[in-house]
Structures are given as structure tokens and as C-alpha cells.
């Protein structure tokens, strides 16, 4: 296979690992922000191949995992309103909320449909003019432009029955919050490749310059990750943290101006509720007031009743913040498995608990 095999070449990987072992002298705690990196690191056994003084932590970069239980409760309550069709990406359906899950709500009669893009959701709205079709917008800066485009398209077509519930989250503010909390001490960050393709490498300059943390943006193949770790180790050993892109085939300093314009034509920066962290100012996206007719939070009266409860015994909040590993959770691989997940970190294909479960986190 062309193009992918080059980034999985064993000999090159061995050379990168040898170089890391040779250059790295100081203890280093590195966090991969993104769930896609977590999966690559586990799938290719990268943790076990690194010198023992390099510690790898997983961060909050799984969109399903960071969606707050209270927001899931609101989605379920909305799904129970007459004439509503909920459209969502598949992973969200299995995430337990306080009292139920979207999957269970669907079994009890709510019309909840898995879609693969907002194009599918728009199509459902066109074909069901007597229904109210709500797309649940989760994810980071990577998904927000596409969802913004769906609102612009719905406006163009004068669709009166298409809405978005915006649960989008922004990555630089949560990274700053994790560091400011002092809970997680880091020497370097493997920064998210796809998010950075949208927001640009420059959006992260504050990390090396204000926090003095080694920083490099990585792609998702094993050689991408190993090359990124090499860059981080060089910065740590030299004591000179800086902004580096180890994914230059995709990420530009300025990001993608077209996608950013689309995103900020539709959304304003707003507070967002993060699982395990709480409501954080400036860390989410809300639909602009002039597009309020497409905003599910403005159009529907959503009453969830009791405050949200986290699944008993689940440590997802701590796992997301990088202060606990899944194997420290008493439920891991016992009552919580991918077939019967207790928390979202075991549901999502990008969840840290699922990565530990599938690819041998018990080796920790
Ligand atoms: Fe939550 Fe399951 Fe992970 Fe424990 S193993 S933190 S219960 S998702």
C-alpha cells in the first residue's frame, strides 16, 4: 500500500526508538491530548517500547468522553419531546447518562438516528418536514466547521425543521485549564493533529512560551508519533521548549482560514460543560444569536429535572484529566467492558479505557 506503509515502516521506527533511548536522559512526562493518538500509542505498543523514565499520559481529547452527563441528560429529555428526531454520531448512543442512555431512550420509543455526517441529518430534515430534526454537535474544532456548514445550508434552503444542539469544545482553553489546575505536571505535549490543521500551530504558542512545556503537533501513524516524541525529547533535553509541527504535511501555522471563517460565522465562543472538569468559560461554541432559529437550546424548552449524577464508581473524570489511569479504576475490565461500558471512556473507540482494554493497558 502506498502512503500509509511508509508511516509504519518497522526499521525507521526502530531507528527513532534507538535515538529516543540515546538522547533521553531526564525523566519526562508526556501527554497525548488526542484520543486518536492514544489509540495509535496503544495499538502499536509505543508505551512499552519507550525508556521507562518516559511516562505517557492520556488527555481529554475524546469528544464523546468529555461530553458532560448533564448534557446527555438534556439530549435524552429532548428526544422524548413529541415530533423530535435526534440525529447523532454513533458512539454517543451508548454513553450512560444519569438515568438512561440514548440507546435506551431509543428502545423506549424515542426517534434517535445514527448519522455519519450532517449531510445525512439535513436529508432527514428535508424528508420529514412535519418533524423537528436535531443534530447533536459534539467534538472539537475539527468537527465544528462541518456542523457550521450544515446550519448555513439549512438557512440557504429555508429549512424550518433543522436544529443543532452545540456541545462543541475548544482544545487550547482546556489544555490551559489542566495546566493551571496544577493536578497534572507535564514536560511535553503531543498536540492534536486534526484540530491543529483547523486552528493552526500558532494557536498553541502559549504552551512553550507561557508554560515552558515542550510542544509538538503529531500525526496519527506510529512513525508520526515516534518522530513527535523525538522532537519533544530534544526540547526537554536542551531545556528549550518551542512550537514544533511534526505533522507538516497537514498542519500550517495559520491553520485553515476557510474552516475557521465558517466556524466563526456561525458560532460564538461560549462556556462549555466538560465531564470531570465542569463549566469552563470560553471553552465551547454557541450558535450566534442571529441564527437562533437553528439553535436547539433556544428553540426547545428542555427540562431534565434532577441534577446529573455520574455513573457510580466511574473515574472517567480523573482519567480525562490525566491524573488516574484506567487500571486504577476498580470497575475496569470487571463490570466495565466495551460490551457493557459504565463510563464514556470505555464506550468510545478513542476512549482511554477502551484503548487500555483492547491493546493491553494492563501492562502498566
Ligand atoms: Fe469509567 Fe469504566 Fe473507565 Fe472505570 S474503566 S473510569 S468505570 S469508563
Mutate to test the pocket of ligand 1, among 329, 337, 340, 344 (most ligand atoms within 8 A of CB): 329
- Residue 341 grid coordinates: 461500558
User: How high is the pLDDT of residue 364?
Assistant: 47
User: How high is the pLDDT of residue 2?
Assistant: 64
State the pairing for strand pair 278-287/267-274: antiparallel
Q: In which order are the strands placed within the sheet that holds 243-246? A: 54-61, 28-34, 188-191, 214-218, 243-246
Q: Under DSSP, is residue 243 helix (H, G, I), strand (E, B) or coil? A: strand
For the chain, domains (ranges, CATH) are 1-315 (3.40.50.11740), 316-363 (no CATH)
Give 18-77 pLDDT, tens digit per residue: 999 999 999 999 999 998 999 999 999 999 999 999 999 999 989 999 999 999 999 999
CA of 45 to the centre of ligand 1 (A): 21
CA 285 to chain centre: 14
User: Which range among 60-64, 78-82, 189-193 shows the weakest confidence by mean pLDDT?
Assistant: 60-64
Share of the chain above pLDDT 70, in %: 98
Nearest ligand 1 atom to alpha carbon 313: 7
CA of 317 to the centre of ligand 1 (A): 9
Give 116-135 pLDDT, tens digit per residue: 999 999 999 999 999 999 99
Q: Does residue 363 register a pLDDT over 60?
A: no
From its phi and psi, is residue 356 left (phi > 0), alpha (psi between -120 and 50) or beta?
Answer: alpha
Protein residues whose CB sits closer than 6 Å to any atom of ligand 1 = 314-316, 319, 326, 329, 331-332, 336, 342-343, 345-346, 353
Confidence band, pLDDT 50/70/90 cuts, at residue 6: confident
Residue 5 class from Cβ within 10 Å (0-12 exposed, 13-18 middle, 19+ buried)?
exposed
- Residue 54 grid coordinates: 518516559
C-alpha dihedral sign at 292, 81, 121, 106: positive
* Residue nearest atom 3 of ligand 1, based on CA coordinates: 353
**Contact predicate 28/232, CB 8 Å:** yes
Give 202-219 pLDDT, tens digit per residue: 999 999 999 999 999 999
User: How high is the pLDDT of residue 1?
Assistant: 53
Residue 210 class from Cβ within 10 Å (0-12 exposed, 13-18 middle, 19+ buried)?
exposed
Amino acid at each position: 500500500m502506498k502512503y500509509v506503509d511508509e508511516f509504519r515502516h518497522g526499521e525507521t521506527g526502530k531507528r527513532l526508538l534507538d535515538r529516543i533511548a540515546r538522547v533521553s536522559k531526564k525523566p519526562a512526562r508526556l501527554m497525548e491530548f488526542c484520543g486518536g493518538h492514544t489509540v495509535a500509542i496503544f495499538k502499536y505498543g509505543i508505551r512499552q517500547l519507550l525508556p521507562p523514565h518516559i511516562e505517557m499520559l492520556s488527555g481529554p481529547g475524546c469528544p464523546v468522553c468529555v461530553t458532560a452527563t448533564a448534557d446527555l441528560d438534556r439530549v435524552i429529555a429532548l428526544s422524548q419531546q413529541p415530533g423530535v428526531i435526534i440525529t447523532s454520531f454513533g458512539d454517543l448512543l451508548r454513553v450512560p447518562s444519569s438515568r438512561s442512555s440514548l440507546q435506551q431512550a431509543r428502545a423506549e420509543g424515542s426517534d434517535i438516528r445514527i448519522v455519519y455526517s450532517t449531510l445525512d441529518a439535513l436529508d432527514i430534515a428535508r424528508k420529514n418536514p412535519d418533524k423537528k430534526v436535531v443534530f447533536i454537535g459534539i467534538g472539537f474544532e475539527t468537527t465544528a466547521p462541518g456542523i457550521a456548514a450544515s446550519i448555513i445550508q439549512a438557512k440557504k434552503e429555508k429549512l424550518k425543521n433543522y436544529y443543532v444542539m452545540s456541545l462543541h469544545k475548544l482544545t487550547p482553553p482546556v489544555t490551559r485549564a489542566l495546566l493551571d489546575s496544577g493536578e497534572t505536571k507535564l514536560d511535553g505535549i503531543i498536540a492534536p493533529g486534526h484540530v491543529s490543521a483547523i486552528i493552526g500551530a500558532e494557536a498553541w504558542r502559549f504552551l512553550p512560551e507561557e508554560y515552558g512545556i515542550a510542544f509538538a503537533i503529531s500525526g496519527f501513524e506510529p512513525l508520526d508519533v515516534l518522530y513527535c516524541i523525538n522532537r519533544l525529547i530534544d526540547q526537554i533535553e536542551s531545556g528549550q521548549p518551542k512550537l514544533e509541527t511534526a505533522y507538516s504535511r497537514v498542519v500550517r501555522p495559520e491553520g485553515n482560514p476557510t474552516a475557521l471563517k465558517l466556524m466563526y460565522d456561525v458560532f460564538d465562543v461560549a462556556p462549555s460543560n466538560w465531564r470531570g472538569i465542569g463549566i469552563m468559560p470560553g471553552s465551547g461554541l454557541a450558535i450566534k444569536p442571529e441564527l437562533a432559529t437553528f439553535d436547539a437550546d433556544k428553540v426547545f424548552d428542555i427540562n431534565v429535572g434532577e441534577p446529573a449524577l455520574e455513573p457510580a464508581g466511574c473515574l472517567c473524570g480523573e482519567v480525562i484529566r490525566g491524573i488516574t489511569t484506567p487500571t486504577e479504576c476498580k470497575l475496569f475490565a470487571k463490570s466495565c467492558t466495551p460490551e457493557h461500558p459504565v463510563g464514556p471512556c470505555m464506550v468510545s473507540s478513542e476512549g482511554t479505557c477502551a484503548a487500555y482494554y483492547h491493546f493491553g493497558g494492563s501492562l502498566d
